[in-house]
Amino acid sequence: MSHDELKEELLASDQEYRRLHDEHQEYEQRLEQLHAKSLLSQDDEIEEKKIKLHKLALKDQMEHLARQHAEARVLA
């Protein structure tokens, strides 16, 4: 199973993975809004850094769930 197939399966079947994915997408949209500005304020720059950290943490959690799911499939 490819990574994309696993992701699609988890989005369809795992509520926690879907919640993390949706939150990650919301942060991505906010980053795009910030990057659309011609000049970022100091507060914008701080927000951008916080968003990037949150996105990274979410991605780590999603990858952890994906690994657990993949390992469970192998053992089944």
73 vs 52: which has the higher pLDDT: 52
Confidence at residue 2, expressed as pLDDT on a 0 to 100 scale: 85
The larger pLDDT score, comparing residue 22 to residue 74, is at 22
Is residue 57 pLDDT above 90, yes or no?
yes
| 75 burial via Cβ count (<10 Å: 0-12, 13-18, 19+) | exposed
Spatial contact of 10 and 65, defined as CB atoms under 8 Å apart: yes
List the domain range (segments joined by +) for residue 40: 3-75
pLDDT, tens digit, for every residue of 3-51? 889 999 999 999 999 999 999 999 999 999 999 998 999 999 999 999 9
* Statement: residue 58 has pLDDT above 90: yes
Structurally, the chain folds into a number of domains equal to 1
Distance, in Å, from the CA atom of 50 to the CA atom of 1, rounded to the nearest integer, reads 33
